Structure 1
């Protein structure tokens, strides 16, 4: 509240009225602003949140899709690079067989012995051919060695061959002599020269005699530099912050356009992984893609900066956020103007409603508006008039209707109770009496105990009981009846374990079983079986009572269904015993519909000489006071 001393009143009448008017306006302004503030805040928050969430999700989705597309494109680029490198290596493999294309070279290789002039002539033929075919056309070939009974050499730079080198002990030589396939030698320092200084990789192949293909005459070794690989790999550009490097299985660097830090951190991971992933190096994130060059056991690693990849996407995101924010602020401004004009007359109605709340029904809203606010004001005036005229009458009428409905339902349930209880007791006491008369005292005692369980269950007539307790009563009842009919009656109770602790209205199954005994067993001499099933299905209870007695004809079944239908249609109808013996079914059907609703009822099917089946579908009940209902199964 605003302290009154902030607006001191004048001692004259005009000053007093002016102070009161200002204070009243401020109070109204506070109330008006509170509603407008709430409405504006909620709508503005929704607008900003929706814009922020949609923009963020769109950017995230776009970035993710863009990264996936970029990864696929990089994979395709690396695959093409791998193919190009494999093609390049295949060309080096083919160089090793060029010697066979010149007859003079083949003859020089196969010739042995001779004078020094002959050996010098053979050297000139072989080495000049190597210069012409391998060294001069290709700048990536550094050295070519042909090793037979001597070492023939051709190199790009003048070098001294170490003729005393034990080349036969070298791994690549031994492997080449044992296989006809070309051998790839990983990067190593030059061999077979006196002063090695370059790192090369080599292709080695076994040489065989043309005249005798089983005779091995030596090997050819081609040393290549990385310039050919660099020319191929340099065409792949991964941006200023990324790069490409190629390593072998021993982490020897074949080619590199990435930073040293990237190579050191990713070499081991790249050899152990495949495909693509996101790697954080320092404070930046990078997309890493790897592809294998199978012909050389090399791994190509591409490193791309995510900041570079998504640079344009970030610019688009910032522009979208700015545009969305400006649009949201414009929408909020329009909303403020609208709420100001909208809530002013509405607050007038609110003040009148407060007067009505105090019990003043003589107020009315004066407005000449023709929109929804004017309609609301007119409706308010009509509502006040209607309330003023009818509130007392409606309250009294509602009270009477409620009391009458409750009394009506209670009377129905008591009437049904008074009809059903004698129906149970009569047949049961009659059976026990007959057993005592014929001297079957032990069976009589057992049946009296079962009768005790039935009577104990009768005490809970107007309550919901556990399904397992209801089945215990059925077990007691059918046990008595089975004793009465001796070998003519057998029964089976099937109860779903999940249904045992559910609640149903008491004594809605016993009359169904009793009718099955009377109409299925008493009227025939052959053996009859009664089956009672209870199970859960789709959140509801289902109970089926069936017998294999004589059943009913189509006319009898139709008449019974019509009788049950008339009982359901007329809730005020009194159900009295009839000659057809189906009083129990009518009572149960009516109790079910009063307690659960008119959509629930007994469904009966029957065929002559095949038996009768009664089905009951009930909703699940929640028991509020389970401790007040003692179990009767014990």
Structure 2
């Protein structure tokens, strides 16, 4: 505010006009953004409604097929036909079943053929439509003849070699109504061409993409000429995170809005990709008109502002020049102002004042003093957050749940990993910053347990610490990043079994020393030099980029130095092909919390 007050009046008016222009441009931009956003939201909602409609139609087809499958599978004629050994009775029952097939197919146009398959490979089907190649393909994928196949499933799409069409199936096991034993399978073959009609009737933008994928991400139906059966590699979503998703991506060189919906009944996916430029194409005339209006208003504002500034500042500049002349002791000079407004009145009063002052100033000796302003600046050091902790309460509860599931299914690895992770997270959320070395090592052992399960004995772990040393205290979570670096950057890339050594002792100089050493791939002299520079030079932190190894070690080094002083911290030595050793230097902290700092 003081800086603005010190500006010349014409500069202040120019600044005011500039601010007005900027606000006008911002308002125009916000106007365009609002309408573009509104148009995109409406288009996205429309596409979402289309996806919901398609999903509803697919679910309706699936529900009808499931209902028809139950009707056929538990028909008394079908049940008797599947287990009967009387040939004459089978011929008689086959007529009834054929009538059921005909009635079912006529009531559901999506059904291409129906097949009953008994345990002894007896097949009852619609002879006009049943295809044996498709049956072999489905049997190879789902092994539905086995006793373990006891749950109905919608298959991925399959192709008949004799034609170019794709089909999908609903395979349902048939159980006896008497003893609930499996007596065969009921297979519905469904035509994908009905789904293609459903997709092709969707009305989206010109270059939009709308398609249905099966559980293997193969195209079932598409509105852009993608062939059925092709694998679709452009994955816009994260599997298993949600049944619906919406995001912005770059598709075929264009920024596009992608929406994804999963059909739970069939495990299919519906995807729509709408180019954003096409969503807002109808807005271009309005946007263009708005831009022209903004340009015209800006020009008018500039012209009017310039005229106002000239008429306002010119008389004031005359007064300023007059006062400058008077300040140079030309007291006989008088101000001549053509304006009769407030500025003219000011000029008249100034002339009267000079007339009165002229008599008085002859005997006054003007003394000038210089005022000096001294400003003291203080440098304030801000400590950036060195530990970014994601509140792991929800992860802790989730891991307990995983442990229970592992126990329920007798998967010991899941139980071990989830239990270890639970202890690590519980340890990480402890309130105190100082913890015992014993607690720190317990967390490290849990981490090494997980690594041992993952790499199946690839590492040999050696821990050497006396019981008295374990009772000492240190900063929490300073060893885990070092051990993790040793695992991933040193031992993981090594051929054969690697060795990790963790030693803790009181040095002869009176401080606690912890060495974490591996015999992994090590580092070259250049790599080691860059790592040390990143650890010790705070100004280079932004230049480290994504080098998580140096960032983690720098984090630990800064925590130690900020807490205990510059004489403490960590150092790294390494040799390519031989391994790496990280040394931690800490003050002796007794179990009571008393810290012995070096003088």
Task: Answer yes or no: is the 8 Å Cα contact 1:258–1:303 preserved in 2.
Answer: no
Structure-2 change in CA distance of 1:68 and 1:123 (3 Å): same
- The residue that corresponds to 1:377 in the other structure is 347
TM-score of the superposition, structure 1-length normalised?
0.48
- The residue that corresponds to 2:100 in the other structure is 129
SS of the residue 2:235 aligns to: helix
Please show how residues 58-73 of structure 1 align to structure 2 within 5 Å.
58-64=31-37, 67=40, 70-71=43-44
| Separation in 2, partners of 1:394, 1:290 | 88
- The residue that corresponds to 1:89 in the other structure is 62
Structure showing the higher helix proportion among its residues? 1
SS of the residue 2:261 aligns to: strand
1:206 is aligned to 2:177: no
Deviation at 1:294, TM superposition (A): 2.0
- The residue that corresponds to 2:247 in the other structure is 277
| Separation in 1, partners of 2:348, 2:23 | 37
| Aligned with 1:319 (options 284, 289, 294) | 289
| Separation in 1, partners of 2:193, 2:246 | 27
| Separation in 1, partners of 2:137, 2:249 | 45
Deviation at 1:65, TM superposition (A): 5.8
| Separation in 2, partners of 1:51, 1:187 | 57
- The residue that corresponds to 1:363 in the other structure is 333
1:255 is aligned to 2:221: yes
Structure-2 change in CA distance of 1:246 and 1:201 (3 Å): same
Task: Answer yes or no: is the 8 Å Cα contact 1:345–1:373 preserved in 2.
Answer: yes
> Which whole-Å deviations, capped at 9, do the CAs of 1:80-128 have from their partners, x for residues lacking one?
543442232122111111226755455444432224xx44333322122
1:183 is aligned to 2:153: yes
For structure 2, list consecutive stretches of 5 or more residues without a partner in the other structure. Answer: 1-7, 371-599
Deviation at 1:369, TM superposition (A): 4.7
> Which whole-Å deviations, capped at 9, do the CAs of 1:196-218 have from their partners, x for residues lacking one?
764211111122333x2334332
1:220 is aligned to 2:191: no
| Aligned with 1:53 (options 11, 26, 47) | 26
Root mean square deviation of aligned Cα:
4.1
Structure-2 change in CA distance of 1:302 and 1:394 (3 Å): farther
> Which whole-Å deviations, capped at 9, do the CAs of 1:6-65 have from their partners, x for residues lacking one?
xxxxxxxxxxxxxxxxxxxxxxxxxxxxx9997886555444333223322443355446
| Separation in 1, partners of 2:299, 2:134 | 88
Deviation at 1:287, TM superposition (A): 0.8
> Which whole-Å deviations, capped at 9, do the CAs of 1:409-466 have from their partners, x for residues lacking one?
xxxxxxxxxxxxxxxxxxxxxxxxxxxxxxxxxxxxxxxxxxxxxxxxxxxxxxxxxx
Structure-2 change in CA distance of 1:73 and 1:382 (3 Å): farther
Query: What is the number of residues matched between the two proteins?
Result: 357
For structure 1, list consecutive stretches of 5 or more residues without a partner in the other structure. Answer: 1-34, 403-634
> Which whole-Å deviations, capped at 9, do the CAs of 1:509-563 have from their partners, x for residues lacking one?
xxxxxxxxxxxxxxxxxxxxxxxxxxxxxxxxxxxxxxxxxxxxxxxxxxxxxxx
Task: Answer yes or no: is the 8 Å Cα contact 2:155–2:171 preserved in 1.
Answer: yes
Deviation at 1:392, TM superposition (A): 6.7
Task: Answer yes or no: is the 8 Å Cα contact 1:271–1:299 preserved in 2.
Answer: no
Task: Answer yes or no: is the 8 Å Cα contact 1:184–1:203 preserved in 2.
Answer: yes
Structure-2 change in CA distance of 1:164 and 1:309 (3 Å): closer
Structure-2 change in CA distance of 1:395 and 1:136 (3 Å): farther
| Separation in 1, partners of 2:332, 2:345 | 19
Please show how residues 203-602 of structure 1 align to structure 2 within 5 Å.
203-210=170-177, 212-234=178-200, 236-258=202-224, 260=226, 267-270=234-237, 272=239, 275-343=245-313, 345-367=315-337, 369-385=339-355, 387-391=357-361
TM-score of the superposition, structure 2-length normalised?
0.51
Q: Please say which structure displays the higher CA radius of gyration.
A: 1
Deviation at 1:195, TM superposition (A): 4.8
Task: Answer yes or no: is the 8 Å Cα contact 2:112–2:129 preserved in 1.
Answer: no
Structure-2 change in CA distance of 1:173 and 1:143 (3 Å): farther
| Separation in 2, partners of 1:168, 1:43 | 76
Structure-2 change in CA distance of 1:85 and 1:162 (3 Å): closer
- The residue that corresponds to 2:87 in the other structure is 114
